[in-house]
Amino acid sequence: MTTRQVGEPVQRREDPRLLTGNGRYLDDLGLGALQAAFVRSPHAHARVVDIDITDAWELDGVEAIYTWEDLDGRVGEPLPVLIPHPALTHPRTGYCLAKSEVNHVGEAVVMVVARDRYVAEDACGRIHVTYETLKPVVGLENARAATRLVHDDAPGNVAANLLQEVGDVDSAMAAAPNTLTLELEIERSACMPMEGKGVYARWDADDASLRIYSSTQTSTGVRAAVAAKLEMPLAKVEVVTPDVGGGFGVKIMHPWPEEVLVPWAARRLGRDVKWTEDRREHFVSSAHERGQLQEVTVGFDDDGRLLALDVRFWHDNGAYTPYGIIVPIITATQLLGPYKPGAYRVEFWSLYTNTVLVTPYRGAGRPQGCYAMERTMDAIAAHLGLDRTEVRSRNFIQPDEMPYDQGLMFQDGRPLKYDSGDFPASLAKLKDLVGWDDFAAYREQAAREGRRVGLGIGCYVEGTGVGPYEGGHVQVETSGRVNVATGLTTQGQGHQTVLAQIVADQLGVRLEDVHVTTGDTRRMAYAVGTFASRGAVMSGNAVALAAKVVRDKALRIAADALEVSADDLEIVDGVISVKGAPGTSIDLKTIAVMSNPLRYAFDTAAQAATQFAGTFDPDKPPVADDDEPGLEGQDFYSPTQATFANGMHAAVVETDPVTAEIRILRYCVIHDCGVMVNPMIVEGQVHGGVAQGVGGALYERMVYDEGGQLLNASFMDFLVPYASEVPHVETDHLETPSPLNPLGLKGAGEAGTIPVTAVIASAVEDAEGFPIRSMPISPAELWELRRQHSSVPVALEGAS
């Protein structure tokens, strides 16, 4: 019996390579290629008056210098609005190189291509750009006030305004016995993968074709975008995604200007060209996320049940909207979490500011939504003097109400309809894990020791596995090697292992024989990309379907050969045999030989398939009308709607009575992503997600000054948490399989991050006894809040 792979914590197949320096990331490729560097705007808002490149040209090793004037055809046109939406009434995008205006510090103005990066940067330093500076709009308050505009033709700085309403909020609110209004704030952060972006392009003049390597989350998207921009046949552009050093959302945005310019320059110069982003460039020219102002009004009964929820928020979309309004739509819809809101109205304004653009970052709008909802839950509990978990559980959607339609439209244009989940069970597990009911005693004990502790909670539902589709291709070689291809990319989630596990089970082969390729348009030209926790759901089901195609074909051929019914056959460890009669068997690899009638015998296995070998029916064609040569198959998985994973977190924090330092003592997670293909990998996703959430809750912020300068554009100043800041995460899982797909999967990539900000806010609030309304929170901010909320002055230093 083959050991079943799905559900096993199998070690990752990609690891030995990555551990020994054999990984191939973008900058590891293209030895000897010319290198690009960019002159980027030092101003947040300015007109480009003049560009003088004379000095730069004198440098030995400079091959080309390009400004917007040099960009021909569509390369000189604005970048596309990738995800249009009817509510996005004023979409604006930049140019590959600034045309006449720059709208944030870091916007690319001039491209230099040189012998090496050092020389390219030298040249950038010798290029003199004259700007006429304009007053920038920085921060949501200023954007909303709109005394100045980012884009002259976008009134009120509003890119989009969207309202959704379910039920009659005004009358439900008026009738509610209790109402509360909360003003909330959440700051900008950023994905900050350890590997920045990068592009490497090779132009083959003889073939008039381009091969592009990009550190992207969507190779097919980059391919189509570059082909369109460069006005090339799609068939002449290939995009390969090598090993990717983390993405977390920032690499789903495409095409980045560099993804167009590098291939364009490679074609123009007839040389290999490469660009590797450095850390400062990443800070000032790649996307950020999170910044929102929120206003929540809630109506509820005396038991804490929601009757009406009215939410308005203002979303900072930065200077441009190439990725549409996906992030605020997700906030607006996913805010509801596991609860029934009563009547619900949400309206948002997506606003322009003269800062780096905003596109999804792990969690993509959900951390903000969860924060709004969970702060509200805590506020209701405080108002009524009820236990915070009690208020939550009174508002839960019950398991027997699944599937549950929230009546809203989700980010994919489809209904926000939860497929499955058991929220009461999750909460019970969480209370158990963290010891919710014993906390009061612990708090008293701590207080006796002069310590101040707090307990926080946060619940979320996460739409995962959004469509439209992914594909899978499975091919069995005559050696028995099974090649699997899917078009979505991977950036560390272990797709090569997880997808191999699925195929090994579905086909009945050994895991070692399965080899998975991701994100290579040469192997799978149809694909969407890796984002929204969709890898396992979409490509997992696609490769399972493809494996079934191959399995059916293999059984059909074997049934003929063994003269039995296909129904009586099974495949175990790559051997097809009659169930219960293991003596009668044939190797899958032999079926691969038989599936392809040959004229030429290039090896001994092939001899068995040539025209003079074996028996055949001379009245039938070697390949039947309804058949194809080869043991391979392809299929696509396209769901009607997203799956909805869920989870609940709780944390215990300690706040220093003097310094206001915040320490996380415990962090507990209950996680439900349906069936887990590889529990070890799921755990890893949760750990990493929590770490990013902790960064967002306590440390990470993008500090822009009034002039639009990012003051902390380095790892010295933007605090990505080290091991010393990230708590040990305690986890427990619940598996409520998704009824939407054959494997019962839901996504797991972002779960860890979503509620952390809400949980830490809840815990700090619990420790301190006053509301926390703005996150992240630093010791200085907490200290200031203490001062504001205390009638007695707080101790300045070690009050002894």
Partner 1 sequence: MTDAATEQLLEITLRVNGVRRTASAPARRLLSDFLRHDLGLTGTHVGCEHGVCGACTVLLDGEPARACLVFAVTAQAHEVTTVEGIGHDPANLSPVQQAFAECHALQCGFCTPGFITTITAYLDENPQPTPEEAREAISGNLCRCTGYQNIVKAVVRASEIVREREEETR
Nearer to partner 1, 16 or 582 (CB): 16
**What is the CB-side half-sphere exposure of residue 76 using CA atoms within 13 A?**
10
CA dihedral 292, 137, 277, 242 (to 10 degrees): 40
Binding partner of residue 248 among ligand FES, partner 1, none, CB cut-off 5 to 8 Å per kind: partner 1
Q: Which of 91, 136, 245, 674 binds partner 1 (CB under 8 A)?
A: 245
Query: What is the smallest separation between the CB atom of 352 and partner 1, expressed in angstroms?
Result: 29
Please calculate the CA angle 726-730-732 and round it to the nearest 5 degrees: 140
Distance CA 505, CA 5 (A): 6
Q: Which of 91, 193, 708, 776 binds partner 1 (CB under 8 A)?
A: 193
Contact residues for 248 (Cβ-Cβ < 8 A; gap 6+)? 191, 192, 193, 361, 362, 491, 692
Query: What is the smallest separation between the CB atom of 433 and ligand FES, expressed in angstroms?
Result: 26
Hey, is 677 helix, strand or coil? coil
Q: Indicate whether 218 belongs to the interface with partner 1 (CB under 8 A).
A: no
The window from 10-18, 255-263, 447-455, 590-598 that contacts partner 1 (CB under 8 A) reads: 10-18
Q: Indicate whether 23 belongs to the interface with ligand FES (CB under 6 A).
A: no
Distance CA 737, CA 694 (A): 29
Binding partner of residue 158 among partner 1, ligand FES, none, CB cut-off 5 to 8 Å per kind: none
For residue 762, which amino acid is it? S
Nearer to ligand FES, 145 or 194 (CB): 194
Please calculate the CA angle 753-756-760 and round it to the nearest 5 degrees: 165
Binding partner of residue 681 among ligand FES, partner 1, none, CB cut-off 5 to 8 Å per kind: partner 1
Contact residues for 587 (Cβ-Cβ < 8 A; gap 6+)? 480, 574, 575, 576
Query: What is the smallest separation between the CB atom of 498 and partner 1, expressed in angstroms?
Result: 12
Nearer to partner 1, 15 or 72 (CB): 15
Q: Which two tokens stand for residue 704?
A: 């822009």
Q: Indicate whether 21 belongs to the interface with partner 1 (CB under 8 A).
A: yes
What is the chain's length? 800
Q: Indicate whether 271 belongs to the interface with partner 1 (CB under 8 A).
A: no
Q: Indicate whether 18 belongs to the interface with partner 1 (CB under 8 A).
A: yes
Q: Which of 145, 163, 175, 194 binds ligand FES (CB under 6 A)?
A: 194
Q: Indicate whether 574 belongs to the interface with ligand FES (CB under 6 A).
A: no
- Per-position x/- string for 56-95, each x denoting binding to ligand FES as judged by CB under 6 A, each - no binding: ----------------------------------------
Query: What is the smallest separation between the CB atom of 269 and partner 1, expressed in angstroms?
Result: 20
Q: Which residues of 314-340 are buried (b: 16+ CB within 10 A; e: fewer)?
A: bbbbbbbbbbbbbbbbbbbbbbbbbbb
Q: Which two tokens stand for residue 295?
A: 């206003």
Hey, is 135 helix, strand or coil? coil
Q: Which two tokens stand for residue 84?
A: 């249009």
Closest CA to 755 of 132, 122, 186, 13: 186
Judge whether 289 and 371 are in contact, CB under 8 Å: no
Nearer to partner 1, 319 or 729 (CB): 729
Distance CA 637, CA 72 (A): 39
Query: What is the smallest separation between the CB atom of 220 and ligand FES, expressed in angstroms?
Result: 24
Q: Return the residues of window 81-110 that contact partner 1 according to CB under 8 A.
A: none
Q: Indicate whether 198 belongs to the interface with ligand FES (CB under 6 A).
A: no
Judge whether 443 and 450 are in contact, CB under 8 Å: no
Q: Return the residues of window 482-501 that contact ligand FES according to CB under 6 A.
A: 492
Q: Return the residues of window 322-361 that contact partner 1 according to CB under 8 A.
A: none
Please calculate the CA angle 284-287-290 and round it to the nearest 5 degrees: 115
Q: Which of 1, 723, 796, 799 binds partner 1 (CB under 8 A)?
A: 723
DSSP 610-666: BTTSS---TTS-SS-TT--SSSEEEEEE--SS-EEEEEEEEEEEEE-TTT--EEEEE
Q: Which of 2, 7, 8, 23 binds partner 1 (CB under 8 A)?
A: 23
Binding partner of residue 616 among partner 1, ligand FES, none, CB cut-off 5 to 8 Å per kind: none
Given its phi and psi angles, is residue 357 left (phi above 0), alpha (psi -120 to 50 degrees) or beta?
beta
Give the DSSP letter of residue 38: E
Query: What is the smallest separation between the CB atom of 620 and ligand FES, expressed in angstroms?
Result: 55
Ordered strands of the 452-464 beta sheet: 452-464, 643-655, 662-672, 729-733
Query: What is the smallest separation between the CB atom of 250 and partner 1, expressed in angstroms?
Result: 11
Closest CA to 397 of 418, 374, 376: 418
Binding partner of residue 71 among ligand FES, partner 1, none, CB cut-off 5 to 8 Å per kind: none
The window from 137-145, 378-386, 401-409, 710-718 that contacts partner 1 (CB under 8 A) reads: 710-718
The window from 87-95, 434-442, 677-685, 755-763 that contacts partner 1 (CB under 8 A) reads: 677-685
Q: How many residues bind ligand FES (CB under 6 A)?
A: 3
HEC string of 276-342 equals ECCHHHHHHHCCEECCEEEEEEEEECCCCCEEEEEEEEEEECCCCCCCCCHHHHHHHHHCCCCECCC
Q: Return the residues of window 236-255 that contact ligand FES according to CB under 6 A.
A: 246
Look at the alpha carbons of 748, 749, 752, 754 in this order and tell me if their dihedral is positive or negative: negative
The window from 89-97, 441-449, 517-525, 676-684 that contacts partner 1 (CB under 8 A) reads: 676-684
Q: Indicate whether 789 belongs to the interface with partner 1 (CB under 8 A).
A: no
Q: Which of 2, 8, 59, 386 binds partner 1 (CB under 8 A)?
A: 59
Nearer to partner 1, 83 or 720 (CB): 720
Query: What is the smallest separation between the CB atom of 195 and ligand FES, expressed in angstroms?
Result: 8
Residues near ligand FES, by CB under 6 A: 194, 246, 492
Residues near partner 1, by CB under 8 A: 11-12, 14-25, 27-28, 31, 58-61, 116, 118-119, 122, 192-195, 243-246, 248, 278-279, 491-494, 680-681, 683-684, 686-692, 714-716, 720, 722-724, 726, 728-729, 752
